[in-house]
Structure formats: C-alpha cells, structure tokens
Structure 1
C-alpha cells in the first residue's frame, strides 16, 4: 500500500507491517517518518540492525540477517539504508525475494533519498508495496513553509506573529532541519508570549556567531578563506559534521542539476526558477555555476558520499579533514580531494 506521512500513525495503531520503504530528500521529514516505526518496534521488543548499501554491498547479508536469530530478541528491525534507491539486479532480486517471503518476526525498513518515478514501477518496489507500505516524503515548498513553521512553534509551546514567521522562513530557505534548530534557539532564548521579528533578530545575533547558511553562501561566492574560517568556527562551537554535510550536499545536488540543464541549452534564469532557487540567492548560485563544471560537481557529490561513510565509521578518514577539503574545493581553492 501507499501511505502519506500523516497516515502512518493511524496505520501503525493497527499493527506493524513486515516491510516499509521511506523515501525523500529532506532529512528531517524522512527521519520523523521513520521514528514512529522504530518506536513501535522498540516497544514490542525488537532488536535493531543497520545495513548500509554501497557499491560493494553483498545482498546475501540482507537475507542472512533476516534468518539469523538475535542474541537479545527473537524479533528484529532491519534498517536498510540505500540512499540511491537503486539496488541493481542482485539487490532487486534480493528485495523481491525478501518481500515475497517476509517473516512476521522481522520488520524491514528501507530508507532512500527521493526516488525516480521509474523506480516505483520496478518489480521489487511493487512487491514491497504489496507486502507492506511505501511512504514518500515530499518537500515543504516556499508557500507551505510559513504554516509548517507556525505549527512547529505551536508544538513546543511558542507563538509568533506573521512577520517573525516570515523572517524565519526566509532565513532557513526550506531547510527544515535548520528551522527546527532555530525554533529550539527561540525556545531557550525567550519567555515572550508572542515572538516578534525583533525577538527573532536578537536571538539570531545572540546565538550564531558562525552559522551553516553563512558557510554555504561563502562557498558559493568563492570565498575559500572566509568559508574555511567559518567551518573552523562551527567546529569550535560544537556543530556536528552530519548537519554540515547535509547542507553542503543539498547545495551540491541543486548546483549539479542546474549545471546539467544549462549544458543542455536551457537559460540559466529559467533553470534557477525551475530549481526553486530563492531570488536573493540567485546571484551567488550563478557565481558558483560559472566556476564549477558539471563534472566537478559530480566529483564533489562523490566526495560528500565519502564523507558520509567516514561519519558512519565505514572509512578511516577524518570527516573534518574531508569537510575542509570539500568546502575549499567548492569555494574554488586548488586542493586535491583524497578518497
């Protein structure tokens, strides 16, 4: 079956399905869709195993994990993290076999980035839908964002006027994870009954000497010295690498899509409009596209994937060193990227 994210809780109240596939480009939306599934499994005594799919992944591991008994529980949640959503022939066969013979003692949770429409028509995907549920997390667009922020403020007991909400929406520019962080800052910063624009401005000034958005903008502007200084400042302030990588990867994917469309002969202004680049960021985005080719951007995306592996402990490289190389190269510095 296909479920919307807002239908998941009601469906879970009827019991766990043997397999779920959750997809989407927004980290927060995907995470908050997966969390109720994890919580229900934990309440019912499931153990948890995480499998990361990359080019060298052995799909026999999935079937072996499903049949192996846990030392701590007879029931198991298997999280299959498959960012590309493309398992290949071997993976497709393994997923089809798993879904067709799903055990009631296990739950398989497949987590992907946004899927292409062709993927949802494959045999393995349809078999999973037939055995369990697919949930696609669509991004919150610019028109929906103020209402989303207002609802999120209400969830933590805060209220804000329209000007303050609009200011927050413009600041986070569609990054929901950043929006949640800004709301948490406001919750800690103020006791006001209703938050206004002055409160938002004061909280931002008080909390953020260095911020992730400033780092991304500096890299797009080609300011390698300034962006590296901001990266060190964020590190010193305790910012976690996954948050930085998410923001940089998101920008790289947008740039790469823009570059590919421009190479196909599309006008850059129309391309930026189609990619929903905010007006005030069009100039710096154009700057980056003039400096970075499609091939370079594709290489930077591969580097970002390598950093993700290092953060997850799948690589011995230091994630902060790799982030420094990524930021410098995005900003135009001539550093060699090591893999």
Structure 2
C-alpha cells in the first residue's frame, strides 16, 4: 500500500497497524512527524520496546532477522526501526527485507526510514514487497504556493488565530524552511498570550531586532565566545528582552545537543544524527564544535540549571534569572563556573 502523509491519520485511526512501514523523504520535519505518529499508535497497541538499527557501513543485515525472532524480557511487542541514510539496502539487505516481508511476525513492527528514494530504488523488488505487505509513505517538500496554507493550518493547531496577511508574512520570512516555520510558531506562542496575530504584529515579531538577537546569542554560545555572549546578553537586557525568550532559545539548543550526545554514545554516526535532528547545514559546524567541547554529563547539568532558571523566572526560586543566564551561557562556552556540587547548591530552594 502507498499512502500520502496526510492520509496516515485516517489509516492509523482504524487501529489496524501494518506489519511494516517505510517512510522516505528529504523533508526532515515531515518524515519525523510521520514516523512519530506510527510509533505513537504502535505504543498504544502494546509495542512498548524499540530497537534502533543504523544500516550503513558494515551493518550486518542478519541483525534484523535476529531481532525479529528474539523474545523480549521487557515487552511482548517491539518496534524494529531501521534508519538507512544511504537509501539503498544493497544486495544483502534486499534479501533480508524480502525474507522478512514474506513472513512478518505479529509481535514485531518494522519501521524503515530513508531519505528520498530515486526512481531505480522505487522499481526494486524490496520496495515492491513492502508495498505488497506493508505501507510506503513518501514525504515531499511543501510547494511555495501551498506554504501559506500549510503555515495557516499549523498556526491554527498551535491555537493562534492569524489573518491572511500575517500568514503570508511568515511564509515569506521562512522561505520554505518548515523547521524554521515551526520555530517561529513556537516563538509566537510565547509572545502572544491572547493567541491572535495580524499582519502588523507578525511583521514586528519576525523583524524585531531584540528577538532576532536571541538566536544570535544562542549561536555565540555554541561558538564558545564568552565575551560575545556576555555582551549580547547585556544588550538584550538593556533592550527589554524577556528572560523567558532567552531561556527558551538556550533550552532548545540544550535538548538538541543532549539528544545528539546520547545518540553518539550509542555509536550513531554524527552526520546522520545531525540530519535526523533537523540541524541546518550552516549550523552543523557549530553543533559539532559544541559537542566536542561539552560532554553529555555537563549538558544534563546545564539542562538542570535551565530548569532552575525557569523556576526563578516564575518566582518559585529565589535567584536572579539574569545572573543564572550568564552562568548558563558561560557553561555553553566551556568556561569554568559551577562544579556539580555547587550547581546542586545553587539550584536548591525551599519546598
């Protein structure tokens, strides 16, 4: 079976999962959302264990059959997720996939994720077998003429009421980058508590220099430039920027870095990890540089500090959020600030 991404919801609502799914496409956000929806439905149906396999380099394709036939100690059903960055399984992989599709097991769901498949791959036997026994979903970039409609729908889902002019301004601002559009919508949710935006407000928000400099601040932190981050943070404070917006931008970077660091510890390839996380090409060097500077343990300490800053902003902890933001930014730069013991003390607050 072949489905469009927008048809998946109806398919999943029938509560009859196919034994295998192939999700392909170069639009990272859409492919990720499709895979997330499949995983969520599978979890509801008892597929509570997930095994991730990276089919690249010297990958042993027999591992797929071994995992499919092995009993789990923790769950009755499991998802075997094959991430195939090359888009082609090769001769050995094709044989394994053909064998699996011929006799899938009831307690295993196979989810394959690939970039956009070329014409030759679409004619291959393993693709035909997946179409016959499972579901193939291809994701495609949103055409420019359809982008305003896509953005309008996402704004509505986020609880934001926007007029036509506001939607068109945002569409022009992101220039087809769906991840950027989602980031702007998340920012709007923080900036517009009443959930309404017109063209003038949208133009102000996306062009506001103080808001834009928040993202510049995050980049300076990833570059590891302590003087620049302190200077930029001071400028943002003088311009009246809200610490909530700054914390949101830094926390977003932290969560991405933690996910990348965890994947690296599991032996994943860095370039694949960054692509899967939707890191823009021009920002990949910054992220790689930061991951070399900060280890996973340190990143998790920083996320804990970010949570403490959030409590301080909300009045749930006695501390100056701006001082703590300075500490967090210096930690991004690799500058010695707080040791783990001191960090625990700094974040302590009365119940």
Q: State the TM-score, normalizing by the size of structure 2.
A: 0.63
Distance 1:201 1:61 in 2: 53
Partner in structure 2 of residue 240 of structure 1: 253
Distance 2:101 2:108 in 1: 11
Highest Rg: 1 or 2? Answer: 2
Cα deviation for residue 105 of structure 1 reads 1.4
Match status 1:207 vs 2:208: no
1:207-263 CA distance string (max 9 Å, x none): 331548x98xxxxxxxxx9x9589x9699934538979xxxxxxxxxxxxxxxxxxx
**Superposed counterparts of 1:104-253, under 5 Å:** 104-192=106-194, 194-204=196-206, 205=208, 206-211=210-215, 237-240=250-253
Distance 2:116 2:182 in 1: 21
Q: In the superposition, relative to structure 1, how do residues 320 and 229 fare at CA in structure 2: closer, same or farther (>3 Å)?
A: closer
Report if the CA contact (8 A) 1:18-1:108 is conserved: yes
Partner in structure 2 of residue 322 of structure 1: 288
1:126-164 CA distance string (max 9 Å, x none): 111111110001110111100100111111221212222
Displaced runs of 4 or more, over 4 A: 227-230, 232-236, 241-244, 309-312, 318-321
2:21 is paired with a residue whose SS is strand
Distance 1:140 1:147 in 2: 10
Q: In the superposition, relative to structure 1, how do residues 95 and 123 fare at CA in structure 2: closer, same or farther (>3 Å)?
A: same
Partner in structure 2 of residue 6 of structure 1: 6
1:159-194 CA distance string (max 9 Å, x none): 212222122112211111211111111111013463
| 5+ residue gaps, structure 2 | 230-245, 258-268, 277-283, 292-351
Distance 1:23 1:148 in 2: 20
2:119 is paired with a residue whose SS is coil
Cα deviation for residue 54 of structure 1 reads 1.3
| 5+ residue gaps, structure 1 | 216-224, 245-304, 313-317, 326-339
Q: In the superposition, relative to structure 1, how do residues 187 and 306 fare at CA in structure 2: closer, same or farther (>3 Å)?
A: closer
2:196 is paired with a residue whose SS is coil
Report if the CA contact (8 A) 2:223-2:286 is conserved: no
Partner in structure 2 of residue 35 of structure 1: 36
Distance 1:309 1:183 in 2: 24
